[in-house]
Amino acid sequence: MSTFVFKTDETNYTPVSNVFIDKFMPKARGEFVKVYLLGLKYCKSGELGVSSQVMASALHLLETDVLNAWNYWNDENVIKMIPIDNMGNYNIDFLDLADRKTENENSINLLEELSKDSIKDMLEDIEKSTGRPLSSEEMTMYISWINDLNFSPEVILLLVQYCTSKGKTNSRYIEKTALSWFDAKIKNVNDAQIFIKNREDRWIKIRKILNYLGIKDGEIMKPQEEMLSKWIESYNFSLEIIFKACNICFERINKADFKYIDGILTSWNKDKIRTLEDIEKKDVKKTPHNNFRNSNKNIGNRNSKSTFNNFKQRNYDFDDLEKKLLGWDKND
């Protein structure tokens, strides 16, 4: 459990900066905004400090959500989060956001940029793709990518169209996608198209595997998605090999288990298995050993049977035996 100590400024109301509302709130996750506002309220009401447990309980969140929220706002330079000790306790200082608007205006002159036909056309096409008008903050974000990410207007438009085709129109998601494209070193439309195709091909395969396992793609977690990507991209296994591993998993434990399947495929990758024939060859190598054990067992059974049959059986005269037991033979 963490404790957050606020730099207080006691008032009877909670003032929220318009810069926060216009610039930071639209692209932040809802729970992050809730944590920021509640923390600001504590700060302005003179509360010296509060635990992550109390904040989580008040907002119906997990304690990890609260800590993640403060880390997010610290990264966005909205607050200053300073560790007090090694026990997870922090000083929280809410920063003045009044000068942020000036910083953006100095970096990008929106009116000047809108006078350029290529920029104007790009923004109009983005509005058509998202189905809504863009805010000045969103316009500034898209224009900034031309210099900051070295994206052409055509690449930016393709990126937005790709996101909207997946039903994602919020600026936060689009921005994260833009950063992933930048990390993938996408420079032009051709690079972007290849990236999209490879990603879509991967997801087509992932959906086929999940369908084979009887799982919906919306039900998988990040670690499972990473395993699937590893099988397809790192191990470069075909679907028939992956399906074979799934079948073995079903046969042995009677359920779909990602870790179990991953263990099989990791072993096969280590053994350089790439085809179903390779799997059969590996199974054949195990067969002689099993046959030897079975043959030894059969030999043992044959020996046991022959020993019993070779035992010399005695022939008894049961009438004579009965007389001896009853003592009648003495009276004869």
161-189 tens-digit pLDDT: 999 998 888 888 899 999 999 999 999 99
Do residues 145 and 178 make contact, with C-beta atoms less than 8 angstroms apart?
Answer: yes
Q: Phi/psi at 206 (nearest 5 deg)?
A: -60, -45
Q: d(Cα 59, Cα 66) in Å, to the nearest integer?
A: 9
Confidence of residue 203 (pLDDT cuts 50, 70, 90): confident
- What the block records as the tokens of 160 is 């937005």
Among residues 240, 228, 220, which one has the least CA distance to residue 203?
A: 228
* Stretch among 120-129, 159-168, 291-300 having the lowest mean pLDDT: 291-300
pLDDT of residue 288: 53
Region 43-49: mean pLDDT is 82
Q: d(Cα 87, Cα 6) in Å, to the nearest integer?
A: 17
Domain ranges (residues) in the chain: 3-101, 108-186, 199-276
pTM over 0.85: no
Tell me which CATH code domain 199-276 carries: 1.10.10
pLDDT of residue 124: 95
AA identity, residue 184: A
Do residues 163 and 174 make contact, with C-beta atoms less than 8 angstroms apart?
Answer: yes
Matching fold, domains 3-101 and 199-276: yes
Summary mean pLDDT of the chain: 83
Confidence of residue 84 (pLDDT cuts 50, 70, 90): confident
Region 211-219: mean pLDDT is 81
* Stretch among 2-16, 69-83, 186-200 having the lowest mean pLDDT: 2-16
**Considering the domain 3-101, what is its CATH architecture?**
Orthogonal Bundle (1.10)
Q: Look-up: residue for tokens 């930016």?
A: 156
